[in-house]
Amino acid sequence: MALLDVTKLTGDLMLLLGWTSEDMPRHYGASAAAERAQEIQVQLGIREGV
């Protein structure tokens, strides 16, 4: 997905959810990235505290 497409998607999401600040998409984007990283950690068998 191109950066422009992501920017449009973020803007559309903000409009749909009534967000007026980009803090919310950044917050939820960071949360989703953390969840993906945890899933990869499990899939790769990487122990915590490494």
Write down the pLDDT at residue 10: 87
Per-residue tokens: 1: 């997905």
pTM: 0.57
Which residues 6+ apart lie within 8 Å of 25 measured at CB?
10, 13, 14, 19
* Half-sphere exposure in the Cβ direction for 20 (13 Å, CA): 0
Which residues, given as ranges, of the chain have pLDDT below 50?
none
